[in-house]
Structure 1
Amino acid sequence: MTTITNVSLVTVYCTDQDEAKRWYTDKLGFVETGDITMGDNGFRWVTVAHPQHMELEVTLMVPGPPLDDNLAEAIRRSMANGTHGALGLKTENCQKTFEELTAKGVEFIQPPAERPYGTEAIIRDCSGNWLVLVEPKDYSPEDFA
């Protein structure tokens, strides 16, 4: 029997792989882990990872094959509308991280705000995806009443 050990890859859709790779490395401090063009069709596989968690790569993909045309178009519309969720990012100090990223030109659509599960801010990346930045705290179901 095979045992799954961890999640190793997640996909974030983007409008431009070069721009997205620069944004995730320059703004968030991720590192490039791969940039390979495969086959005759020019399919490009671009990955980045947080330097302290290299076991989880983020592939930056332009919506297209192998997705069908309808799904790819729906993802493009969602990104263009700024309503496409992408990643949750943990931080030890949401306010400080907000200030550091704002100084780097990162667009926040919600500044840090207290929630039952911690302090949360919402970022918009260069493709319109939103990323949730969370400084978690202990909570119970009663905290949501």
Structure 2
Amino acid sequence: MQSIVHIALVVKDYDEAIAFYTKKLNFNLVEDTYQPEQDKRWVVVSPPGSVGTTILLARASNPEQESFIGNQTGGRVFLFLNTDDFWRDYEEMVARGIEFVREPQERPYGTVAVFKDLYGNLWDLLQLKEDHPISKRMK
């Protein structure tokens, strides 16, 4: 069996990224370990209740990496945050100042809206319908 453990997200600053993900998105800080031999930190966050893939907040370490902060996928939606209650999470995120760039819509696969993270990466907030293949896998 194999699984994807982390997705690396290039960030400008560890502490501002941690603050955004833990305070604005209500994620859990899973790990924050200093690695002195490389003068960097191993910072991992995940949504509350998540048991799958986590996000590794990786500080850009050179100009080439810095150029990808906020645009890791060329302007496409990069990450997909599934929820069991779309409207609860949408309203909480709006109240915390999250910027939605596409309003909620009903789609054949579920309810979805697009928001930006602190650097401009695009995310889908979505609640998949119960008969969606991914929803069936999560049960």
Q: Which range, TM-score by smaller chain?
A: 0.7 to 0.9
TM-score where L is the length of structure 1: 0.75
Large movers: runs of 4+ above 6 Å: none
What is the percent sequence identity of the aligned residues? 31
Give distance in 2, aligned partners of 1:77 and 1:89. Answer: 17
Closer, same or farther in 2 for the Cα pair 1:77/1:26, shift >3 Å? closer
Over aligned residue pairs, what C-alpha RMSD do you find? 2.5
Give distance in 1, aligned partners of 2:118 and 2:124. Answer: 15
Over alpha carbons, which structure has the higher Rg? 1
The equivalent of 1:15 in structure 2 is 12
Closer, same or farther in 2 for the Cα pair 1:77/1:49, shift >3 Å? closer
The equivalent of 1:30 in structure 2 is 27
1:1-145 equivalence runs, <5 A:
3-4=1-2, 6-64=3-61, 70=64, 72-76=65-69, 78=71, 83=75, 85-137=77-129, 138=131
TM-score where L is the length of structure 2: 0.78
Give distance in 2, aligned partners of 1:92 and 1:31. Answer: 17
Q: Give the paired residue count.
A: 131
Query: Any stretches of 5+ residues in structure 2 without a counterpart?
Result: 134-139
Q: How far 1:88 sits from its partner (Å)? A: 0.6
Q: How far 1:49 sits from its partner (Å)? A: 1.8
